[in-house]
Amino acid sequence: NTSLISDTILDLCGLIFKLVLNPTLGIADVCSNVINIAVFFKMGLGDGVTQNFFILSISDCITSVVAVTNSAAYILQHTFTSAGETIQLEIQRLYWATVFAVSFPLNVSTITTVVIAVVRCCCVAMPLRVKFVLTAPRQLAAILISSAAAIAVLLYVFTPLEAIYLKNPQTNKTYLVYIGYRWTLYTVFCGTIFFTSVITATVCVIILSVNLQRSSKFREKTASGTSNSDQDGRKETRVVKTVVLVTVVFIVCLIPHFLFSAVKIFISEFSQRGKYRNENQLFLMMSETLLLLNANLNVYIYLLFNTRYHVTFMAL
């Protein structure tokens, strides 16, 4: 075993991430996203911005539920060590099932965030044309079709999944290991999705930030502060700020997950059973923490920069 991280250090990190950080963030995420879902639904889903943030809140909420379940399985696995072998194997089955399952809502959240950023970027570049081209139903179609395609690929990847039982002769314990799924396709697909999403989102953030700075300077010189056009401009600025901040948080928190997918492509031993399995496990924990942090921060961004959200939230 040439792993750089010892089993002792991994167990310590597991206690920090899976016992404290991730469950806390996960429960907070579920609560905040349930609030987001209720607020956006009450605001009405007629416009594309509210509709897309509503979808993002649903997918983030599902991701959080899966993550909390994963942490619970990890805690049970390391707490009830004296439980029967059958119970231990079922807990392991639940743990690994959630590891694979999180890919589904995570891809939907990724696609939705990118669509939100691209649409707002197009609104800045072509404000007159986008209103009639990128309507709310078309934005919804883009999210649903792209998400359905991603889910179809993941289902194809996991269809041949098979569980086998391996016994450690030193500890005489039986461990559950999943084999048979299309590993190469999975790593390439996830790596491509995350790489494309990060690059696209970064370009959109740059364009939106530059436009935000220009429009701010222009209003300082020309706006009186009371005209309808000035009020519309301020409303658009708040929307752009919301999109930029949500996208920036998304990029920062997704980078470790992207690196995780990239490393798996180039280092075959960076896997569940490879010699770098401890590093693999630690990376999973850290990636999960940042993904949960991403979903947790959105509610504060909405409260600070979305006036309609703030008013509706206070009225609940």
| Average confidence (pLDDT) per 10 residues, the chain, 316 residues | 75 85 92 96 92 96 92 83 75 87 92 94 80 88 96 92 75 72 82 89 92 69 55 75 92 81 73 75 84 89 91 91
Radius of gyration of the chain (CA): 22
Amino acid 57: pLDDT: 96
Amino acid 263: pLDDT: 78
Give the integer Cα–Cα distance in Å for 63 and 67.
Answer: 6
Q: 């911005």: which residue's tokens? A: 49
Beta bridge partners of 162: 179
> In terms of Cα–Cα distance, which of 116, 100, 89 is closest to 197?
116
Amino acid 259: pLDDT: 78
Angle subtended at Cα 96 by Cα 92 and Cα 97, rounded to the nearest 5 degrees = 110
Query: For the purposes of burial, counting CB atoms within 10 Å of the CB of 265, is it exposed (0-12), middle (13-18) or buried (19 or more)?
Result: middle
Beta bridge partners of 166: 175
Which pLDDT tens digit goes with each residue over 219-266?
A: 555 655 555 555 666 777 888 889 999 999 999 988 877 777 777 777
Q: Domain 7-315's class?
A: mainly alpha
Amino acid 314: pLDDT: 93
Give pTM, 2 decimals: 0.85
Do the Cβ atoms of 37 and 54 come closer than 8 Å? yes
The structural domains of the chain, with segments of one domain joined by +, span: 7-315
Amino acid 234: pLDDT: 72
Dihedral of alpha carbons 176, 181, 185, 191, sign: negative
Q: How, if at all, do strands 173-179 and 162-168 pair?
A: antiparallel
Give the integer Cα–Cα distance in Å for 274 and 261.
Answer: 15
Q: Which amino acid is at 131?
A: K
Amino acid 231: pLDDT: 63
Beta bridge partners of 179: 162
Q: Which amino acid is at 3?
A: S
Do the Cβ atoms of 58 and 38 come closer than 8 Å? no
> In terms of Cα–Cα distance, which of 30, 25, 54, 28 is closest to 309?
54
Q: What is the DSSP string of the chain?
A: ---SS-HHHHHHHHIIIIIIIHHHHHHHHHHHHHHHHHHHHHH-S-SHHHHHHHHHHHHHHHHHHHHHHHHHHHHHHHH-TTS-HHHHHHHHHHHHHHHHHTHHHHHHHHHHHHHHHHHHHHHHHSHHHHHHHS-HHHHHHHHHHHHHHHHHHHHHHHTT-EEEEEEETTTTEEEEEEE-S-HHHHHHHHHHHHHHHHHHHHHHHHHHHHHHHHHHHHHHHH--SSSHHHHHHHHHHHHHHHHHHHHHHHHHHHHHHHHHHHHHHH-TTSSSSSTTHHHHHHHHHHHHHHHHHHHHHHHHHHHHH-HHHHHHHHH-
